[in-house]
Amino acid sequence: MRWIVQECSALKSKSYFELAELIAPEDQLDQYKMLVARRLEGEPLQYVLGTWAFCGVDLQLDRSVLIPRPETEYLVELALGYLDEMQLSTKASNSNLEGAGLGGNVANSNLEGAGLGGNVANDQLYIGDLGTGSGAIAIAIANSLRLRGKQEFGIVASDISKLALETARENARVNRVEDTIRFYESDWFEGFDSWLCRRFKLIISNPPYVSEGELTELDKTISQWEPYQALVAGKHGTEAIEKIVLEARNWLADDGVLICEIGETHGAYVRDIACRCGYERVEIIADQYGRERYLRVQNPK
């Protein structure tokens, strides 16, 4: 109940024991009783509080969006790690050009032609977050890039749910990245503007991966409270990831990377699909518990 006490008292920096010694005003006591009653009915704590921290940003949450979890925080870490790798590779290329006597101007020109220089808006490359929900992934990445002073990428976030997009836009505003992210109401890629084709250097997604039969096996705090369409992919649980893997080839730039969270039993099947689609560097990555939870693939040049 510590989280609820802190929420009602607006004294989140104090310990539970410090708060226990305070005399609560009547209005705070009424709010506390209401929130505790919701929690006792089985409502997830994140919805009861209405906010939750994720990768250094605070997100407003309600039942229109999935609750972000630690596994998805690691998905963000994988994405940021890839962006760091790409930056190191770009610096190495620049160094090689200068070492060959071509000079910095040629290197910068090549980067701008590839959409990385920032001065050629028509060739800008993008990061995509498919099924953004609360906006957790897109906002966390936008915030991290802002803190690092990186401005070379646009960010696109999509969701099929209008209510989820309202929450995502508000979260982007609260975290001061609303001017960085372009939101689309879209069923995966279907609502994207055509000019975005082959413009994504990175696409990330935490799609639904629960099968219809598995839904009843989930904890009731998940199955009875979180949005069905954000949890269940279909009869087999792989329908969403199949669609993303099949269609991403048309949207990723040359050497662009797709990173997705997957069900822990889907690794071999998803790897096979990605290989048959012609991706390079197909990897299934384990989470901190050794479970196969992420797909990472690279588009050919």
Domain count across the chain = 1
Q: Give a yes or no: residue 230 inside a domain.
A: yes
Q: Give a yes or no: residue 183 inside a domain.
A: yes
pLDDT at 299: 95
DSSP at 66:
P
Q: Give a yes or no: residue 56 inside a domain.
A: no
Q: Give a yes or no: residue 248 inside a domain.
A: yes
pLDDT at 37: 82
User: Could you identify the residue written with the tokens 């009783």?
Assistant: 33
Sorted by sequence, the CB contacts under 8 Å of residue 175 that are 6+ apart come out as: 57, 58, 139, 142, 143
Q: 71: which 2 tokens?
A: 């596994």
Summary mean pLDDT of the chain: 85
Q: 46: which 2 tokens?
A: 């994140």
pTM beyond 0.85, yes or no: no
* Residue pLDDT, tens place only, 110-169: 333 333 333 334 568 899 999 999 999 999 999 999 998 877 789 999 999 999 999 999
Domain CATH code at residue 86:
3.40.50.150
Q: Give a yes or no: residue 129 inside a domain.
A: yes
Q: What angle (nearest 5°) sits at the alpha carbon of residue 242, between those of residues 232 and 168?
A: 55
* Residue pLDDT, tens place only, 239-284: 999 999 999 999 999 999 999 999 999 999 999 999 999 999 999 9
Would strands 292-298 and 252-261 be described as parallel, antiparallel, or unpaired? antiparallel
pLDDT at 109: 34
Mean pLDDT of 229-248: 97
